Every structure is written in structure tokens, then in C-alpha cells.
Amino acid sequence: MSGVPARQGPRKFSFGPELAQGFDNLRAHKLRSALTMLGMIFGVAAVIAMLSIGAGAQQQMIAFIQQLGVRNIIVEARESSDDTALSKTRKLSSGLSFRDVRMIQASLQGIKGVTARKRFTPAKLLPKPYGDLPVVYGVAPVYQNIASLALASGRFFSDEEADSAASVAVLGQAAAAGFFGSEDPVGRFVKVNDTWYRIVGVVRPQLAMQGDTGGLPAQDQNNLIYVPLKSAIMRIEDSRYYYKDEIDGVYISMATDEQVAPAGVLVRGLLDATHNGAGDFSIIVPAELLAQQERTKRLFEFVMVAIASISLLVGGIGIMNIMLASVMERTREIGVRRAVGARKIDVVRQFLIETTLITVSGGAAGTVVGVGLSRMVAYFAGWSTIVTVASVVIATAVSVTVGIVFGLYPAVRAAKLNPVSALHYE
């Protein structure tokens, strides 16, 4: 047999010793390692916190739009406080009226329910409520189904009570608390202007938005008094108000989702024609608002991630700087490893492992800080925040990717060192 050595198989390696060595190198420079991680920590925390704030706000908005009813169409009157502008508008249109409701019912196919609405703030209320004055909604009984009102106690008024303009009322949760505190108001009375109303039910709490939503005026949906429409017009409305619309809102519920979009177009066209283009109304289609909000949510998340990723980019630059300094400090160590048989890939892998340890540790700490920040914002600012799995995954993945990308150059540079020169490096 010749003296030719047998061919060796592929070199086996284990990450165990290299991980241990990586931890030892990081522990040897605790302060430097901690400062390097700060960029990752703040970057990941910023991504998670900003996405949680955005997700909370978006979810609250989407839930409110869904509460409006994705099969509903809402017509809102645009009443101006400027008498001059209002007089000009009245020359073209007399405003929303029961005639509009009858026209919509006659022209629209697939209507499941429809009701006009008369809304106003009463001049006098007894007992005197705590907080803001409740707003009166004069509606038909079908409004309960259109608005998906769930009752906490009692019942909604009936068709017979609505037809006879009965003095019965249903209170929102905030209105009930304002009038009677923690006591059950069912069976008791409230005086609205000059009429006593017997309370027959209380509505469960509903979501409420602070600002206008898609043309729908801001209104605390919990601070309402629901009464039959005829009763509101005959018993409560002050006839001294001139130029007021006969009604100021119309709620339409369609039978299927597919009918909503074309129905909204048809209603808008009908009212434009009958109101002579006066522009004294707005059409709110919650299904369209929901689709728009979903698109806005995706765009918002992309922008937030892009902005917060700047912090991760800065952290990545810090990692590259520290790892380049580490290569210079460990030049003799690299030369010894190469002299005893370490390959270039072994050196690259060692430095990448250390970089990954920094980024993963920083990402984990940043996740904890980000969750804590979102909780603090929710507690102190009263905002709704939601930490999603997607935000944590995105933040962690971006941080690790940035760390590896910025750590690759120092690792390759270390691997390319000449072993002889490295051994003589001082």
C-alpha cells in the first residue's frame, strides 16, 4: 500500500462550542455588548409599540363601522347654522322629509327595514342628568334591528306604541347612569321638555367614536334617549324652529351584502335628483367605509414599520462598527485558529453567531420593552392598543436580518485575514 493518506469525509461541526465561545466573548465585554444591543432593543420596541397603537386604533374604528351595520345605508341631513347659506339651500331643497323615505321604499328593491330619524337635544330634562345632556332619537321600532341594539333590561317600544305616539322611552347606558346612577330605570319616568316618558328598556353599551366617521357626525351612542318617531315630532319638537328638516336621518337595511353598493348609488342618485343638487345630505355606506379602513390599515402598518425600521438600521450600523473593532482586537486569535486548521467559513460562522446572539438578545429584550410601552400608552393615555403576533414576528425578523446583513462584512473581513500576518499582529 502506498503512503497516500485516505480521503477524509466532510468535516463535521457542532454549534455548541461556537455558541459557548460566542457567549464568552460577549460576556468578556459586557458593557460594549449591552450598548450594541440598545439599538436593536429600541428599534424592536418602537416597531411593536407603534404597530400596537395603530392596530388598536384601527380595530376600534373597524368595530365601530361594523356596529353601524355592513348591510346598512345611512342618510344624514347637512343642517347649517348659517341662516344665509341655509336660506339659499332651501330655495333648491326643503331638506330630508318623509317623502324621501317613501320614494326610497318605492324605488329600492331588497329593503329589509327602513326608518326615518328625528334627532335633537331637549331644552329641559327631569331628573337632571349628570354629565352631558342626552340626545333624543325619534325612530321607528325597526331601528332596534337595523342598529343591532341589544337590551340590558326591559324591551324596545312596539309598533302599536309607535303608531299611537305613546310616551315611552328606551335609554342608552350612559343616559340611564346619568339619570338614575346604578338603579334600574325600567318603569320609572323622565321628563323631556314638557312630556313625561315611561322608561321601558335600557340598551347595552355601544362603541362610540370621538370624531366624525365617514360623514357621520360624532355622537355618543350610549348617551341617547330613544322614543317613537311620532311621539318625538308631536310631543317634544319645538315648532318655533324654522327651516328645519322634517327629518334629519334615514336608516336603510338591505337583505344581502351584494345589494348594498348598488343601493347606495341608487339612493344617492334619487336624492340628488329630488333635492336639485343642493348637497344638503350625505350618504354613509358602512360596507364601503370598512373596505376603505382595511386598505388604510395595511398602508398604515407599512408606513409604521418603515419609520420604526430606521431605528433598526441605526442599530445595525452600530453592530457593524462594534464587530469591525472586535475583528481588530482578535486578529491574533483569528491567526491562531487559521494556523491550527480553521477554515474561512469557520471564522465567518463564528462572527455571525456572535452577531446573531446580539440581535436575538436585543430583539427579545425589545419585545418585552415594546409590550411594556404599549401597555403604558393604554394605561396613561387611555388609548386602545393591541400587540399582535404579526408585529412581534415582523420586528424580530427585521432585527435579525439587519444584524446578519451588517455583521456579514466584518465576518468576511476576519476570514480573509492572512494567517501569517495575523499571528505577527500587535
293-306 average pLDDT score: 75
Residue 275 inside a domain? The answer is yes
Residue 129 inside a domain? The answer is yes
What pLDDT was estimated at residue 87?
A: 75
Question: Of the given ranges (130-134, 269-273, 345-349, 421-425), which has the lowest mean pLDDT?
Answer: 421-425
What pLDDT was estimated at residue 364?
A: 86
Q: Are 188 and 48 in a shared domain?
A: no
Q: Which helix (H) or strand (E) holds 76?
A: strand 72-77
Q: Are 228 and 342 in a shared domain?
A: no
Q: Which helix (H) or strand (E) holds 225?
A: strand 224-228
Cell representation of residue 216? 357621520
Going by their DSSP bridges, the two strands 281-284 and 195-203 should be labelled as: unpaired
Q: Are 330 and 218 in a shared domain?
A: no
* 72 contacts 252 by C-beta, under 8 angstroms: yes
- Identify the CA nearest to 318 among candidates 34, 50, 22: 34
What pLDDT was estimated at residue 8?
A: 47
Q: Are 91 and 229 in a shared domain?
A: yes
Q: Is 254 exposed, middle or buried (0-12, 13-18, 19+ CB in 10 A)?
A: buried
Conformation bin of residue 203: beta by default, left when phi > 0, alpha when psi is -120 to 50: beta
Which is more confidently placed, 417 or 224?
A: 224
pLDDT over 50 (residue 7):
no
pLDDT over 70 (residue 420):
no
7's CB contacts (< 8 A; 6+ apart) are none
The rounded distance, in Å, linking the Cα atoms of 95 and 77 is 7
Question: Of the given ranges (82-86, 224-228, 242-246), which has the lowest mean pLDDT?
Answer: 242-246
- Identify the CA nearest to 200 among candidates 216, 182, 187: 187
Q: Are 171 and 272 in a shared domain?
A: yes
Average confidence score pLDDT of the chain: 81
Residue-number span of the structural domain to which 101 is assigned: 79-279
Which is more confidently placed, 397 or 18?
A: 397
- Identify the CA nearest to 207 among candidates 50, 381, 59: 59
Q: Which helix (H) or strand (E) holds 153?
A: strand 151-154
Cell representation of residue 153? 333590561
What pLDDT was estimated at residue 4?
A: 44
Residue 69 inside a domain? The answer is no
Q: Is 19 exposed, middle or buried (0-12, 13-18, 19+ CB in 10 A)?
A: middle
Most confident of 21-30, 133-142, 298-307, 371-380: 133-142
Q: Are 31 and 139 in a shared domain?
A: no
Q: Are 220 and 350 in a shared domain?
A: no
What pLDDT was estimated at residue 3?
A: 46
Residue 412 inside a domain? The answer is yes
pLDDT tens by residue, 199-222? 999 999 987 665 555 556 667 889
What pLDDT was estimated at residue 157?
A: 95
| Cα separation of the two ends of the chain | 47
Domain endpoint, select from 247, 279, 311: 279
Query: At 14, is the pLDDT very low, low, confident or very high (cuts 50, 70, 90)?
Result: low
Residue 270 inside a domain? The answer is yes
What pLDDT was estimated at residue 422?
A: 57
Q: Are 227 and 369 in a shared domain?
A: no
Estimate to the nearest angstrom the gap between the alpha carbon of 17 and the chain centroid: 47
Radius of gyration, CA atoms only, the chain: 34
The rounded distance, in Å, linking the Cα atoms of 110 and 180 is 41
Residue 10 inside a domain? The answer is no
pLDDT tens by residue, 362-395? 888 888 998 998 888 888 877 778 887 877 887 7
The rounded distance, in Å, linking the Cα atoms of 262 and 186 is 41
Residue 7 inside a domain? The answer is no
What pLDDT was estimated at residue 279?
A: 79
Q: Are 136 and 27 in a shared domain?
A: no
Q: Which helix (H) or strand (E) holds 154?
A: strand 151-154
Q: What is the identity of the amino acid at 255?
A: A
Q: Are 26 and 92 in a shared domain?
A: no
- What's the CA dihedral at 314, 318, 321, 324 to 10 degrees? -120
Domain endpoint, select from 279, 307, 326: 279
Q: Are 246 and 212 in a shared domain?
A: yes
pLDDT tens by residue, 88-137? 777 787 788 899 999 999 998 899 999 999 988 888 899 998 888 999 99
Residue 228 inside a domain? The answer is yes
Question: Of the given ranges (111-120, 239-248, 297-306, 396-405), which has the lowest mean pLDDT?
Answer: 239-248
Query: At 80, is the pLDDT very low, low, confident or very high (cuts 50, 70, 90)?
Result: low
What pLDDT was estimated at residue 245?
A: 64
Query: At 82, is the pLDDT very low, low, confident or very high (cuts 50, 70, 90)?
Result: low
The number of folded domains in the chain is 2
pLDDT over 70 (residue 411):
yes
Q: What is the identity of the amino acid at 42?
A: F
- Identify the CA nearest to 246 among candidates 77, 74, 124, 75: 77
Query: At 331, is the pLDDT very low, low, confident or very high (cuts 50, 70, 90)?
Result: confident
Going by their DSSP bridges, the two strands 224-228 and 135-139 should be labelled as: parallel
- Number of other CB atoms surrounding residue 418 within 10 Å: 12
What pLDDT was estimated at residue 209?
A: 62
Q: Are 364 and 325 in a shared domain?
A: yes
* 325 contacts 354 by C-beta, under 8 angstroms: no
What pLDDT was estimated at residue 244?
A: 60
Most confident of 10-14, 215-219, 351-355: 351-355
What pLDDT was estimated at residue 23?
A: 72
Domain endpoint, select from 279, 302, 335: 279
pLDDT tens by residue, 132-189? 899 999 999 999 999 889 999 999 999 999 999 999 999 999 999 999 988 999 999 9
pTM of the predicted structure, to 2 decimals:
0.66
401-414 average pLDDT score: 79
